[in-house]
Amino acid sequence: MDQKVKSVRYSVVIPVYNSESIVGNTIARTVACFEKYHWEYELILVNDGSQDGSWRILRESALSNPRIISINLLRNYGQHTALLCGFHNSSGDYVITLDDDLQNPPEEVVHLIQKAHEGHDLVFGRFNQKKHPWFRRIGSSLVGALNRQLFQKPPDLVLSNLRILRRDVVDRICSYRTVYPYITGLALMFSDNPANVQVKHERRVGGKSQYNLVKILELVSRILFNYSSYPLRFVSIVGGAISGLSFILGFYYLVKKLIEGVPVPGWTTFVVLVSLSNGVVFLIFSILGEYMIRLLNQTSNAEVYQVKETVRHNSQWKDDGKKNSKNEVK
């Protein structure tokens, strides 16, 4: 193994949610991989409000291994916020992100590391064949299209949750103020030399994936409303089109009245026009309201997440304000 690869420190961040049946194996395989190559590393496990016994496993892992830090978030904030928490607590020259379900085999980080040391500040694993269900593949395609439009993703770059980021990229992400972090987009925004490397992708061997259709829609909403003005542009176009049609229709009825006269009722036309106009107005106000809610959250809530407890092997109590973390005494 190249000496340059061995001479740096790696932080591995794994967000965990309801993975009691598999996360122990994920941790063991990740540790075994880094121990095999004698790399300097730390493993940061972030429990994102799991409702099963995941935290017990994470806590025990941290108490038994000085290279493991386990963080228990106050509630479920979502994968990207959990990753951001891990970034805040990382100290490595490179940060690697892994899922907790072994679909991204920990042993594949070898390829990420080697590719990063070719001079890339961001490397995504490119899967030989994805083992995801159809709706997740469709969701990935939609999110990929948004990444191309909003974050200037290179056309030939394939995104995944298995990635490695150089320290300077991680620091830029950590300094970005938002209560709705989207790690993939921020990584693209703050890197200048991204790349892919071929890796394996396995089927989930235990537990149930939490990444369902609702989660996909939530992610799309997070990207659209926090990193783009597309919804506002859309309603502006719709509102302009409706206004134009209303003006044309009004002009038509005015001319018709002057030339032919108009029967008294006209009730159907009136109802249709009012209903259509009200529908457009409500649509516009609902989207404006969504933006207002998010702007208020951005300005009034400086805390992206709250930490319930942090467990390390060499325990010491600590309160660092922003992350509001406390280390559990062994």
Q: Which pLDDT belongs to residue 321?
A: 38
Q: Which pLDDT belongs to residue 29?
A: 97
Residues 30 and 15 in one domain: yes
289 domain residue, yes or no: yes
Q: Which pLDDT belongs to residue 3?
A: 61
Give CA 141 to chain center in angstroms: 15
Residue ranges making up the domain that contains 290: 230-300
Closest listed residue to residue 132, CA positions, set 230, 201, 75, 183: 201
1 domain residue, yes or no: no
Residues 236 and 223 in one domain: no
Amino acid at 3: Q
Q: Which pLDDT belongs to residue 319?
A: 40
Mean pLDDT per 10-residue interval, the chain, length 330 residues: 73 96 96 95 97 96 96 95 97 96 92 96 86 61 82 91 97 91 95 95 65 75 80 72 69 68 58 64 72 65 84 57 39
Q: Say how far apart CA 212 and CA 149 lie, in whole Å.
A: 24
DSSP 22: T
Q: Which pLDDT belongs to residue 49?
A: 95
Q: Which pLDDT belongs to residue 213?
A: 72
Residues 279 and 216 in one domain: no
Residues 132 and 80 in one domain: yes
Residues 80 and 221 in one domain: yes
Q: What does the radius of gyration of the chain's CA atoms come to, in whole angstroms?
A: 25
75 domain residue, yes or no: yes
**Tally of domains within the chain:** 2
For β-strands 194-199 and 94-97, DSSP reports them as unpaired
The token pair that represents 234 in the structure block: 């859309």
